[in-house]
Structures are given as structure tokens and as C-alpha cells.
Amino acid sequence: MHDCDVLVIGAGPVGAAFALALARAPAAAPLRILLVEAQPAAVLAEIPVQEPRALALSPRSRKLLERVGVWTPELAARACPYQTMEVWDRSTAGHISFDSAEIHQPQLGHILGQQALVAALTAALRAQPNIALRCPAKVTAIERSAGGGCGVRLGEELVRTALLIAADGPDSPVREHFGIATGRWDPEQQALIAVLRTDRSHGHCARQWFASTGPLAFLPLAGDHHHVAIVWSQDRAAAERLQMLDEQALAAELEIASEGALGAVTLASEPRWLPLRQHHADTYVLPGVALLGDAAHVVHPLAGQGVNLGLADAEVLAAELAAALEGGLSVADPAALARYQRRRRPENLAMLAAMRGFKTLFGDTHLPVALLRAAGMTAFERLAPLKHLVMAAAAGERWTP
């Protein structure tokens, strides 16, 4: 006998969105869904004034959040829509610009603080009758149940479930417990994340500069149009040099790296350095178990796709499980789990490969490679149909001229 039907470990953006997407499917109404999160409720609900970890949400991700009732006017007010995106190669004259008008969309996406999203998801979880949220609670052990499913220990308590979902982040204890191997790539970079105050208005434009030591992104934030969240990925040696600087000197380096595009900049939050890595689980599913989001794949943040890939996992798995339930099958139906894996692996793998290719391409300072890169960017800029296709793919949409 199971204590719940689905046990989700991790109430980060992906685990929370998955639980809501499944719980709101009509066929899943009788399910008992338990979500277990290690962090206390107060941390989940906390929204910092200047939030450095900003997510570039694709239109597909926003639509999922709308469907699960999380994209409320309050959350939308915290999100900054961006209509244009400018990309420069600092070591050549290469430049590409994207405009949402070219694909007949009101915006290319939204920039939103990760904590603001987690807080909105947590509020929606609490309002959902067939979801119970347990936090803070940590999984301490997992065992296979004789009749199928798993038993999960939360301290002294044993909770038996038909289906176990690992949405427990990049270090996924569940993935480790089941011995699922990962293909790893170390970009040998660290990322600086911070909020900057800028002299000029960001104009709802996301900007990115590629340099040989790593890319710098300026992501526009909602509010006074003079704040951007930055992600500055830097090779280890360059990162170590920057870590020695005081805030004023760091801001001066950022102004140079951004070619003064937004004028003088000052730090509006503590600068935080995070190690970067990329990995991909060899399998997303085992009998009665599925991995989602960063537990299954971690992608370099240069394209800002981590959460988008994870939310797409959540959407597809919830849809496959709901379809199995509608057909009178079990919520842990192996064919539904296999279909989830088949639908999600190719897109996730393609994104990971693209990020690795970008790092290699832009990290190469040899003149022939740099010239090819500049020529490629210029040609791409002139090839409208290809550009539109890339923009639509990044938005998670099909593009029709």
C-alpha cells in the first residue's frame, strides 16, 4: 500500500511546476501528490529586493506558468519583457540583432528573478488541493518496495510511493542513489552573477558580448529600466583576477567588457561567483523513477536555457502521465516514462552540445577561426529566414513566415 501516488523531491522551479501541471490535469484529480523540499518555507517565500539569479523565460515557459495558474499579474509585474537581443563578438566586428517584431511576437521572452518564480510557485502549490508540500524535510534514504515503487525516508518516517520524481537539482541525491551515471563536461569557467545599476536605460534589450575569456550577458530587469542582472562567465584565470578587485574596479571592468553600451555601471547587489559545469544523465527514467530539470541535465548558462529545458521536461512528463491515467493505466506506467525520455532527450542533448560548441568557437583567438566567426555572424545577420527560425526555436515555438 502506498502512502502517496507521486512523491516529488525538490520544490525548485522544475519540481514545483511539474507537480502543478500534473495535479491540474483532470485525470490526476484523485492522485495524492507529495512534494518534499529541504529548504524552510520562509526561504521559499523570500524575494530579495535585488535578485542576482535572473532567468530568461521563453514564451513556451511563460505559457506553462499561465496554464498552471502561476503567471499572475503580481508575478508578471516582476518580470521584464524584452523585445530585442543584441549579440557582439568582441574580438571581431561580428554582430547579430534579434527583434520580436521579425517573428510577429510582442516579446522574445521575459527576465524574472529565480526566487520570485519559486515564491509564486510555492503559493500555487499551497492552494492546490491534491498536493501536499512538506518543508523543510530532507530525504535521508531510499529503498525499493517489494510490490513496486519506492520507500523514501524523511528522517524517521518512511513514505511509500508508486512514482518517485527527482527534481532535486544538479547534485541530485536521487540520481546518485540509483547510480545513474552522467556524461560530464567542465567548461573550466566560473560565473559572476550580480545586479548592476546602469547610467542608460536598458530599453528592454537583452545584450550579450562574447570574448575569448567567456561571455557577458546584461539581462534587463523590471522597474526603473536602469537595472540589469548580469551573468559573466570567465575562464578560471580571468575569474581569479576579477575576484581580487574591489567593487569599483569590478564595475569599471564590466563597463569595458560591455563596451560602454549602457554607460557607467555600479554594483547594486553583492557579486557572487558560481562554478560552471555541464552534465547529462545517461538515463532519465528507471522503473517507478524519473529525473527532471537540473537532476537530469545541467547546461552552461550562456544561452539562459536551464530553466526552460527543465520546465519543458515538467510539461512533457506531466502530459504523458496524465495521458496514461486517462487510458486507465498506472501513474508509473513504464511506457509513459519511456515516452517522456524519448521526447525530451534529443532537445536537451542538442542544447548541451550547442553550448559546448559556442564555448569552443568563441574561446578560439586564432585569426582564421575569428575571421570565420565574424563572417558567419554577418552572414547569419543577413539571412532573415534562418534568423527567424533560430528565434522561434529559442522561444520554443514553430515559426511560420
Q: Which parts of this chain interact with ligand FAD (CB under 6 A)?
A: 9-15, 36-39, 54-56, 114, 138-139, 167-169, 173, 191, 193, 231, 274, 293-294, 301, 304-308, 310
Cis peptide before 385 (omega within 30 of 0): no
Helices then strands (H, E): number in the chain?
Answer: 12, 22
Q: Which CB sits closer to ligand FAD, 310 or 396?
A: 310
DSSP H or E segment with residue 125: helix 114-127
Burial of 334 (0-12, 13-18, 19+ CB in 10 A): middle
Contact (Cβ atoms closer than 8 angstroms) between residue 312 and residue 292: no
Closest approach, Cβ 370 to ligand FAD, in A, equals 26
Contact (Cβ atoms closer than 8 angstroms) between residue 290 and residue 166: yes
Nearest residue (beta carbon) to ligand FAD:
12
DSSP letters spanning 148-176: SSEEEEETTEEEEEEEEEE---TT-HHHH
Contact (Cβ atoms closer than 8 angstroms) between residue 314 and residue 292: yes
Contact (Cβ atoms closer than 8 angstroms) between residue 9 and residue 167: yes
DSSP letters spanning 262-331: T-SEEE-S--EEEE--EEEES-SEETTEEE-GGGTEE--GGG--HHHHHHHHHHHHHHHHHHHHHTT--T
Q: Which CB sits closer to ligand FAD, 39 or 130?
A: 39
Q: Which CB sits closer to ligand FAD, 94 or 109?
A: 109
Closest approach, Cβ 30 to ligand FAD, in A, equals 25
Q: Which CB sits closer to ligand FAD, 56 or 290?
A: 56
Closest approach, Cβ 366 to ligand FAD, in A, equals 28
Closest approach, Cβ 259 to ligand FAD, in A, equals 21
The partner residues of 235 in beta bridges, in order of sequence, read 189
Closest approach, Cβ 10 to ligand FAD, in A, equals 3
Closest approach, Cβ 22 to ligand FAD, in A, equals 15
Burial of 209 (0-12, 13-18, 19+ CB in 10 A): buried
Q: Which three cell numbers stand for residue 193?
A: 552573477
Q: How far apart are CA 52 and CA 194, in angstroms?
A: 5
Closest approach, Cβ 303 to ligand FAD, in A, equals 8
DSSP H or E segment with residue 205: strand 205-211
Q: Which CB sits closer to ligand FAD, 65 or 325?
A: 65
Q: How far apart are CA 351 and CA 313, in angstroms?
A: 13
Closest approach, Cβ 138 to ligand FAD, in A, equals 4
Q: Which CB sits closer to ligand FAD, 70 or 325?
A: 70
Closest approach, Cβ 13 to ligand FAD, in A, equals 5
Q: Which CB sits closer to ligand FAD, 83 or 189?
A: 189
Q: Which CB sits closer to ligand FAD, 34 or 370?
A: 34
Q: Which CB sits closer to ligand FAD, 128 or 330?
A: 128
